[in-house]
Structure 1
Amino acid sequence: MPVISAPHEFNTEDLYVDLRDMYGYPLHLKCEGFNFAGSIKLKAAASMIEAAERSGALTRESTLVESSSGNLGVALSVIAAAKGYHFICVVDARTNLATRKVIESLGSEVHTVTEPAAEGGFLAARLAYVQRLLAGGPRYVWLNQHANPDNWRAHYRTTAPQIEKQFPGLEVLFIGAGTTGTLMGCARYFKDRPRPVTIVAVDSVGSVTFGGPPGPRMVPGLGTGVRPALLDTSYVDHVVHVPEADTVRACHTLARGGFLFGGSTGTVVSGALSWLAEHRPGQNTTAVAIAPDLGERYLDTVYQSSWVRDVYGIGVDGAPAAPETPSARDTADAQGGDAVDDSHELTELPTGALQS
């Protein structure tokens, strides 16, 4: 029985869901949401805070500042509460209301950016807001999850070795791409091993991370409007881009099986199934996908029938809503892009071809 004195000391590492019966594909889902922050981001948050403390950059007089779509903000709030730090989390209008309430309940501040930048969207706007805060004096400390190597190091030290321990014969690993901390940590680890493991990054349609055109994205978590500084594509073998409508469909399929996962997990599962159908049809491949989060914070969005209908024009069962609502088109127009395409885009990256 674990006995802890701080919330970041506990995380369930060895829980997997076998999705073969549900989907017909040999895919194991590594569940990372069973900790006091509710997501995989607790690892990165702890790693970055501990490194800042060791360097002396973070002291009791400091005010932590971070841009987050939600999950890292919660994780930093958990640790800030435990350690007594003041924390300001900069989010945007897409961040789930439940997430913002959790951050505030833990004693941290939430500053919400309501307008996207002309270039780089909401992420660029959040980062610009962070810079304005930093101009307020040296007491503000920015961990910068998008460029901080202690983000990916957390997963090199923990997530990847745990997967290797449970699946020594691993052939394919599916990882969602947000800041790319999880992706880079796991990819670097397995590329350092003698056995080849195919690394498949799963991204959202509308994300610019892997060079795609920017587009509207309403589900926070995966995808970026600014290419992450951590990304080195020489470690990535394939990329799958998933439309958000397919993210919603995957979340609801999992929920109908009793598994309430978050939007990032729905994206990863949808992308993994698409890749397996394309590259390993009918094969008994040893494959793992990382599930970053759980679904409770998405009850007002991904799991809310009216929200899904208004944004994507589909019902909660994934079928097209009839008639299509004007607000779905209005949402896309307001974000500066077209409605998302319902087909996956598969991209193969030759080793070293796109080295950053």
Structure 2
Amino acid sequence: MTIISVPMDFNAEDLYVDLRSIAGHPLFLKCEGFNFAGSIKLKAATEMVEAAEWNGTLTPGSILVESSSGNLGVALSIIAASKGYGFVCVTDARCNLSARRFMEAMGSQVHVVAEPAASGGLLGARIAHVRALCAADNRHVWLNQYTNAENWKAHYRTTAPGIARHFPRLDVLFIGTGTTGTLMGCARYFRELHRQVQVVAVDSVGSVTFGGEPGRRMIPGLGTSVQPALLDESYVDEVIRVEEADTIRACHRLARRGFLFGGSTGTVVSGAMEWLSKHDNHDLTAVAIAPDLGERYLDTIYQTNWLHALYGEDVLAPEAAADLQVPPSSTRL
């Protein structure tokens, strides 16, 4: 029996889904959404808040403020409610309505930025709004997930060691990229272990994380319009960019097997399947990190009208025609 007194004390660390019958290749999906925040962001949020308390930046009466597309905001709203802080989440219209309502239910405020900045797009506008809030009221404390080292350290201390413990012969690890906190923490851990683990970053088409021109992105979570300060590309072996239509197809493919995951997870799974199809080696041990669950996407990714309006009526046609009955393949741990 598990008994907790604060929501941050519960997180299912050791749950993996074997996707061989869905992906057609050996692939284990590390599920990070089984906590009270519903995503991997609870780890980074907890580490950043505790560090700010320890160094005296965050004190009784402080108001947390952060830019987030949804998941980190939800995590911080839970922590703020638990610890008695105020919280203001600065987001934009791509943030799922359910995430906004969740934060408000926790007693947080949600500010929605409507107009993109001339440089930096909607993310740039969100950050400018955060800076303005902090300048106007010194009670505001910006943890700044984009530059805060505690973001990646959270995964260096927890996520990566957990994977290494369960998969001592891991060959390749697929990680989605937003702030790149998860990517950098895991990549640093395996590099310092001198393990021959290929770290494959999975990004959204239209993101500028690894260079290129910004493009339309309607699914929150992965990708960015400003290159992350935390990113050190020397730790990344390869980058896979995924179209949002492929993200949607991967989500629906998983859902048809009873696994309802979020957009970030769909992106990672799609990228992992693409990489594995090009490296057709059934002896590989591959793990992908699933950042979130799917309930907050019921009005978007899993809603027909939303899909057809943004991606056309045939967005699911290739997936609907796919043969999902792929026999399981053997793998090694």
Q: Same fold (TM over 0.5)?
A: yes
The one-character-per-residue Cα deviations of 1:64-91 (angstroms, maximum 9, x if unpaired) are 0000000000000001000000000001
1:175 CA displacement: 0.2
Partner of 1:95: 95
Distance 1:318 1:130, change over 3 A: farther
Partner of 1:79: 79
1:22 CA displacement: 1.3
The amino acid of 1:286's aligned partner reads: T
In structure 1, how many angstroms separate the alpha carbons of the residues matched to 2:245 and 2:28?
23
* Preserved CA contact (<8 Å) 2:201 2:240: yes
Partner of 2:328: none
Partner of 2:119: 119
1:215 CA displacement: 0.1
1:283 CA displacement: 2.8
TM-score norm. by structure 2 comes to 0.94
1:138 CA displacement: 1.9
* Preserved CA contact (<8 Å) 1:263 1:298: yes
Distance 1:163 1:314, change over 3 A: farther
Partner of 1:186: 186
The one-character-per-residue Cα deviations of 1:265-291 (angstroms, maximum 9, x if unpaired) are 00000000111112x214321000000
In structure 1, how many angstroms separate the alpha carbons of the residues matched to 2:48 and 2:319?
43
Which protein has greater RCO, CA pairs closer than 8 Å, 6+ apart?
Answer: 2
The one-character-per-residue Cα deviations of 1:50-76 (angstroms, maximum 9, x if unpaired) are 000000000111110000000000000
TM-score norm. by structure 1 comes to 0.88
Distance 1:187 1:318, change over 3 A: farther
Partner of 2:243: 243
What is the 5 A alignment of 1:24-103? 24-103=24-103
The amino acid of 1:181's aligned partner reads: G
The one-character-per-residue Cα deviations of 1:10-66 (angstroms, maximum 9, x if unpaired) are 100000000001121100000000000000000000000000000000011111000
The amino acid of 1:157's aligned partner reads: R
In structure 1, how many angstroms separate the alpha carbons of the residues matched to 2:59 and 2:290?
33
The one-character-per-residue Cα deviations of 1:172-221 (angstroms, maximum 9, x if unpaired) are 00000000000000000000012211000000000000002100000000
Distance 1:33 1:320, change over 3 A: closer
1:242 CA displacement: 0.2
Partner of 1:13: 13
Partner of 1:294: 293
Does residue 215 (structure 1) correspond to residue 215 (structure 2)? The answer is yes
1:317 CA displacement: 3.0
* Preserved CA contact (<8 Å) 2:245 2:315: no
Partner of 2:269: 269
The amino acid of 2:176's aligned partner reads: G
Aligned pair count?
A: 320
1:137 CA displacement: 2.8
Does residue 226 (structure 1) correspond to residue 201 (structure 2)? The answer is no
In structure 2, how many angstroms separate the alpha carbons of the residues matched to 1:198 and 1:95?
32
Q: Secondary structure at the match of 2:136?
A: coil
Partner of 2:146: 146
Q: Secondary structure at the match of 2:66?
A: strand
Partner of 2:323: none
In structure 1, how many angstroms separate the alpha carbons of the residues matched to 2:276 and 2:94?
31
Distance 1:86 1:183, change over 3 A: same
Distance 1:300 1:196, change over 3 A: same
Structure 2: which 5+ runs fail to align?
A: 321-333
In structure 1, how many angstroms separate the alpha carbons of the residues matched to 2:169 and 2:223?
29
* Preserved CA contact (<8 Å) 2:253 2:319: no
In structure 1, how many angstroms separate the alpha carbons of the residues matched to 2:313 and 2:25?
25
Q: Secondary structure at the match of 1:258?
A: coil
In structure 1, how many angstroms separate the alpha carbons of the residues matched to 2:168 and 2:130?
42
Partner of 1:327: none
